[in-house]
Structure 1
Amino acid sequence: MSEVRSYSAEAHEPSAADTLMEAFRADPIFRGVMVDDADYNSMAPIMFGSFSGLLMSAYGTVDVVEQNGAAVAVAQWEPAAMSLNAGLRMLVAIPKLCWAMGYKKSVMMLKMFAVLESKRHELGGNAHHLMTLGTNPEQQGKGMGSILIKKGIARATELGVPCYLESSNPKNIPFYLRHGFVEVGKYYPYEKDGVDGNGAKIEGKGPVLTFMYRELDGGNLGGRTGGAE
């Protein structure tokens, strides 16, 4: 039986990190940095697990669909303003991730995060930010992503704020459009340097991140996902 619950490290790790890792395994943005499977398998659980713990502790904004005790779909949200608690935890999480990724890949990822943070405040304003939404590939197509995003939208609506996200895979954009988001910009993180995390040349502009925004009243309706649905 599937149930929506608040994330708990004790109950939902490592299944939550594993779910996000598999949901984003073919993601063009993440794999542009973590190109090799060995790199991805070692770095992704640290990244996804660290952010789940950080966001839940600081804001209580990580939701999961639980099935037989395991988290098979996960949504990570954050408010517009970072709390002191979150900031301190970030100072602990980032060095751990950088150590696992190595210098070159860390620099690539941190540069990307810096641009995304700037764009989030420019385009999203006071919106709740959907940082990550992913469903275990074996459970996709069952509406779990819709359940989780509706929960996050309802939470934001109750607080009187809109919603914002970056879609790292173009195939997920129709899913977000159906939930009232509209495209407000694009960013090609590998265009400037023209290489991936292994130094290999990237053709053209490379993979794209699409910035999307949902108005508080849902007026757009009709207008970080990995296998969102």
Structure 2
Amino acid sequence: MAIKIAQASDEASAIDALTLAFSVDPMVRWSLPDPAKYLATFPSLARAFGGSAFRTGTAYFADGFAGVALWLPPGVRSDEESLMRLFDENTSDDVKEDLPGIFEQMEKFHPTQRHWYLPMIGVDPAYQGAGLGTALMTEALKVVDRDGLIAYLESSNPKNISLYERHGFEVIGEIQSGSSPVLRPMLRRAR
């Protein structure tokens, strides 16, 4: 299966694939449980979390956009201001109450040294289990290893932890606030 680097013209299709993939993500659906609100809001959230990958040449996709990974290279960050605005405008009061604690904890675990960050990787549910997640990780980690840097991600889906561990990531803690699901920060040491 071919893994390609997404161009700017691929962004909408890649975001559509991530919207399908994250429709069952525990943290995303906890924050956006209403299906209509999720479908209307998630594309903007995905762009705020990882959209810079389209401009840095670090957005990967599998043939037909069955799977997508948005990697942020060293020095590139998520658009935190847009994220906070989107969550503030689109989540319930209970979620709004818990989100600052989640973001504060995320910041504590996020590496301060040069690193690659994977804010989003997802496979369309119709194609899950076919090795696309592995192929996406393998391709992107070639660049991470070439640079000799660490890689970092967070996962709220326990089903995905073993995939990340097979690629050298280790759980380094737990993030949880109020009624939120547990988010697991994971680090992959430099190779």
Q: TM-score range by the shorter chain?
A: 0.7 to 0.9
Q: Tell me which residue corresponds to 1:5.
A: 4
Unaligned runs of 5+ in 1: 195-205, 218-229
Q: 1:25-77 deviations in whole A, cap 9, x for unaligned?
A: 111111111111121111112212444532321x322111122xxx2211111
Query: Hey, what's the Cα distance between the residues in 2 that align with 1:127 and 1:49?
Result: 20
Contact 2:102-2:176 within 8 A present in 1 as well:
no
Between the aligned residues of both structures, percent identity stands at 29
Which structure has more helix as a fraction of its residues?
Answer: 2
- The equivalences for 1:147-162 within 5 A come to 147-162=135-150
Among 96, 103, 116, the residue aligned to 1:128 = 116
Contact 2:18-2:122 within 8 A present in 1 as well:
yes
Contact 1:16-1:49 within 8 A present in 2 as well:
no
Q: Does 2:71 correspond to 1:77?
A: yes
Among 38, 61, 67, the residue aligned to 1:64 = 61
TM value normalised by structure 1: 0.72
Q: Does 2:39 correspond to 1:41?
A: yes
- The equivalences for 1:77-226 within 5 A come to 77-82=71-76, 90=79, 93-94=82-83, 97=86, 101=90, 104=93, 109=99, 112-121=102-111, 125-189=113-177, 191=178, 194=179, 206-217=180-191
Query: Aligned-pair distance for 1:109?
Result: 4.5
Q: CA RMSD in A?
A: 2.6
Query: Hey, what's the Cα distance between the residues in 2 that align with 1:112 and 1:134?
Result: 21
Contact 2:49-2:119 within 8 A present in 1 as well:
no
Query: Aligned-pair distance for 1:117?
Result: 2.7
Query: Hey, what's the Cα distance between the residues in 2 that align with 1:188 and 1:164?
Result: 18
Q: 1:111-167 deviations in whole A, cap 9, x for unaligned?
A: 533431332126xx4321111110011111111111111122111111110111111
Unaligned runs of 5+ in 2: none
Query: Aligned-pair distance for 1:110?
Result: 5.7
How many positions carry a matched residue from both structures?
190
Residue type matched to 2:62 in 1?
V
Relative to 1, partners in 2 of residues 1:110 and 1:12: Cα closer, same or farther, differing over 3 Å?
A: same
TM value normalised by structure 2: 0.84
Larger radius of gyration: 1
Query: Hey, what's the Cα distance between the residues in 2 that align with 1:106 and 1:137?
Result: 28
Q: Tell me which residue corresponds to 1:202.
A: none
